[in-house]
Amino acid sequence: MTAMTKYALLSATVLLSLVVVAPAATSNGNEFALAYVEAKTPAARKAVVDDAQGRPHFFRYLQIMEMEPVKEDGHDGLRITAFEPSSYLDVKFTVMMTVSLSLLKSDPVSKVGDAIAVTGKLIGFDPKQNAIVLESPIVRHKDRLSPKVGKELLGEVNPGATFYSYTEGPRPVKLEFRDRDLLVHRDEVLAKGGPKGWMEFLEKEIAKRKQQRAAGGAKEGGQR
């Protein structure tokens, strides 16, 4: 084996090792979320998720909707559900890294209604919760709310605030923020029943939930 051949093999080995150990490039999480909701079919949405899965994604303008203290392997953490404004999707992750927790707790302490920027490895999409799921998240900084967010979301979250309105059916329908999970059925219902079917589906489900909440409130009132 000549010296030139040895050098070529050594160079190829070094280059291959660099390719193997190089970290995955960070993708734009907000663009991923928008691409997912704009995909027209289940197959297209699956392709979007498959392409993004396993890569780190950077999300800005994530508004904290739920924040719950947790303990994993003896370490304190925060389980967060955040709202991605351009897609109307939720993003779920659990913050365990000390630096990220310190940032969330720094003055002013991050709370429900505030926005943060986060990088995390995208591990999938939960259709039942209409949520992007991240692993090993890092809180990059406290953020501002996206200009695309509705006026009701500019301060503390009001669960009864209007979140989504549909006006293409025979009658306009308004969806409250707390009922945003109904949007997961949008494509399926529209495909089967068109605008009228989607409007009727929303009206039926909203009425059902209003009855359930009223019954729950009356029950609580009777127990006082």
The pLDDT tens digits for 148-201 are: 444 434 334 456 655 667 777 788 888 777 787 888 888 889 889 998 999 999
Which three-class secondary structure state does DSSP give residue 92? strand
37 token code pair: 């909701």
The pLDDT of residue 173 is 83
pLDDT score at 162: 59
What pLDDT was estimated at residue 145? Answer: 85
Peptide linkage before 23 cis (omega within 30 of 0): no
Residues of the chain predicted below pLDDT 70? 1-24, 146-164, 217-224
What residue ranges of the chain are covered by domains with CATH 2.40.50.140?
A: 27-143
Radius of gyration of the chain (CA): 22
pTM of the model: 0.61
Per-residue pLDDT at 202: 93
Strand partners, 62: 116
Question: CATH number for the 27-143 domain, one of 3.30.830.10, 3.30.1490.100, 2.40.50.140, 3.40.50.10440?
Answer: 2.40.50.140
CA angle 45, 184, 189 (to 5 degrees): 95
Confidence (pLDDT) at 2: 53
Yes or no: say if 139 and 100 are a contact pair by the CB < 8 Å rule: yes
Which residue(s) pair with 60 in the sheet?
A: none
Chain-centroid distance of CA 73 in Å reads 25
